[in-house]
Amino acid sequence: MKRIGRLFWVSLLSGFFLLLLASSTPLEGTLQHRKDTGKKCTFCHSSIPESGDEDPKLNEDGRKFKENGNRLTEEQKSRPG
């Protein structure tokens, strides 16, 4: 009986962590994002944010990008990055 109870709790905790992992949202600034825009992370960020960082450390270009609906402005598209 103790073995069944332990198996139940291990299964329950494992399921909880899998659910937590599956429901987490990725950062918006991903490698795919870099491929889509052709810009390095430092184009929009003064330093690279870490996972879960509430302050993304946006520079001026990053703030313009965010204000433009997460799209590069025409001026930003023409600049190397």
pTM listed for this prediction: 0.52
Amino acid at 22: A
Answer yes or no: are the C-beta atoms of 65 and 44 closer than 8 Å.
yes
Q: Could you read off the pLDDT tens digit of each residue along the chain, which spans 81 residues? A: 677 788 888 888 887 777 766 665 545 556 777 888 888 888 888 876 666 666 678 889 988 988 998 889 999 999 887
As a whole number of angstroms, the distance between CA 26 and CA 24 comes to 7
Residues forming a β-bridge with 58: 45
Phi, psi angles (nearest 5°) of residue 58: -75, 140
Q: Please report which helix (H) or strand (E) contains residue 10, including its range.
A: helix 2-23
- Structural domain of residue 65, as residue ranges? 2-78
Q: How many domains does the chain have?
A: 1
Tokens of 45: 């960020």
